[in-house]
Structure 1
Amino acid sequence: MITVVVTGAAGFIGSNFVRLILEETNVHVVIVDKLTYAGHPATLVDLENDGRVIVFKDDITDEQAMQSIFHKYKPTWIVNCAAESHVDRSIDNPEPFLKTNTFGTYVLLEAARRFLVRADEHVRRDFRFLHVSTDEVFGSLGPEGKFSESSPYAPNSPYAASKGAADHFVRAYWHTYRVPTLITNCSNNYGPYQFPEKLIPLTILNALDGKPLRIYGDGLQVRDWLYVKDHCQAILQVLRNGRAGESYNIGGEEERTNREVVEGICDILQELMPANQNTCLVEKNLTKYTDLRQFVEDRPGHDQRYAIDPGKIRSELRWSPGHTFEVGLRKTVEWYLSHREWCRQVLGGRYDRQRLGLLAHD
């Protein structure tokens, strides 16, 4: 029986990954989550009722707690999804990003190294430590080209720098200590259970409430969008069949400008909940959701374009995304429309949808 430790599993990608592996495998899951603002107990309600799941409210920077979990549950797989992930918040305060994303990854790697020193040969043979990272570690692209596994690291935000540093530690623990590590660098994820500070869920909720739909700068920044379930399928493929010590880029190959994303959400909402049936828009004499668009000062250091070349994972592991952006975006809008109570719970007292990441002037 495989036991997998999933850190950050009360968050967006982690919770979706746990749901996927419970559906598709017979593994046992140990969830480790600090339950910060973006990791909420409401996301775990259905998971905690599964007899194969154990939940620990622990911080991955707690060395004693992490080593205790390794010793007690003897995991076959570690999937590190725990991270501070919002670029705007990293601009306001980089310290939590350094602590969780970089030092926390080191603590997990060290716990894994100590565990493997005492483990049986068959345990060492099957063990995998998969670190979920981001395309943002590679910096910004021009109008052409895509990031590959050999792209140089050039992080431009404190968030990206903290993830890049973690990636380097993961690589080092393979080359120095032979801990069987894997790194996945993904493009922008979207889908169910994403905390509503990111572009897509924030736009959905603000549109429903008749609030301004803030678009940074000219809105022409380009992102490669990946539906979260497709990403989780890729993670599972890498765990099962990836080569230790390797990194794999995971991308949806669905490039859109931020302006296109916002307008696409507005079009879907106009169909599912027309503006003339939404009291919040009627009271403002607005006839369509796009009237809520508001172009604001750009984010400091905003990367212009990201795009992932997933050729390696396609050819080696036969993975490809199952959702076009249009299909995935519609499913996402429908999910948030039917889960307003979840949104209310996770936002309550934690975030009132204000803009973050504006440089403070002392």
Structure 2
Amino acid sequence: MHKTLIVTNDFPPRPGGIQAFLHNMALRLDPDRLVVYASTWKRGREGAEATAAFDAEQPFTVVRDRTTMLLPTPRVTARATSLLREHGCSSVWFGAAAPLGLMGPALRRAGARRLVATSHGHEAGWAQLPGSRALLRRIGEGTDTITYLGEYTRSRIAAALTPDAAGRMTHLPPGVDEKTFHPDSGGAAVRAELGLSDRPVVVCVSRLVPRKGQDTLILAMPRILARVPDAVLLVVGGGPYEQDLRKLAHQVGVADAVRFTGAVPWARLPAHYGAGDVFAMPCRTRRGGLDVEGLGIVYLEASATGLPVVAGDSGGAPDAVLDGETGWVVRGGTDEAAVAGTGERVVTLLQDPELRRRMGERGRRWVEETWRWDLLAERLRTLL
């Protein structure tokens, strides 16, 4: 019986978009034909208990390594090889091409017939540095296909591969659960909880790090409030940039118009999207292209919820927007032009209910037609 071994650092209960991608795909594969080899989320009793509880709920086998970060060391490679043989797996899916795909040749020698390595945003960064570029080239040669999120990541990674490996790349983006993210997801209740029932709401759902562009939104708020005086920016999520963002809101004089929710349980995220009238995350590329948005699944989750989106132009983020149809792509950054451009698009949407409705409905249809998990999981099954 054909079985697949998933080798990954990115798996719940560790939070994050890549983790959700891997888990959602895994849930749509045959659980009797699947084994997951993953790193431990975090050390300590609390982390161990959370990991054990999560693993016990899964319909497939999960094997945890003692480390919090799998690397293609001889020990980890030997463990992966042992699991491949023990469970009779004939295909391997590397949850992140770099660096785990470097184990490909060893697993091939151990009997794997299909090796699929999925790339995210960071492989595009690897492709720009000589040392990591050479390793990425080896990964391309040692696997059957490297999957990519969108045209941005494909073009950057392909440039580091041999022509043959580049020609074998396959499109495999994350999907959206359209039954979970939908226009009646409970946004009204969240608005009521936060005292925002009668105010226009710009919502941003994301980890709080500089690349995501929450600071651009805060800097744009004076312009937005000048034309939509009762508008509020709802910043959903936690992260290391939170204190800087709070301080910025005070410095700009818009602290009363910016609400921070902190980290929100996954089950409540759909309702927090639904609390907004407009979704905005003007992400930007940083560190000379090493810190870049791989795709931006949040834009598609917002579209599924029926919201128009304002996206930054970092990396593959534009792939998640039909510019002018489901929302707009703006230039990311904190300079005057980027802030003004973001503010203008947000104001236009807040002032035009019919435009919001039209873009939101188009976004919902696009997700249903193109981005459903079941469609993308079938593509993965074919690759494996």
More relative contact order, 1 or 2 (CA 8 Å, 6+ apart)? 1
User: Greater CA radius of gyration, 1 or 2?
Assistant: 2
Q: TM-score range by the shorter chain?
A: 0.3 to 0.5
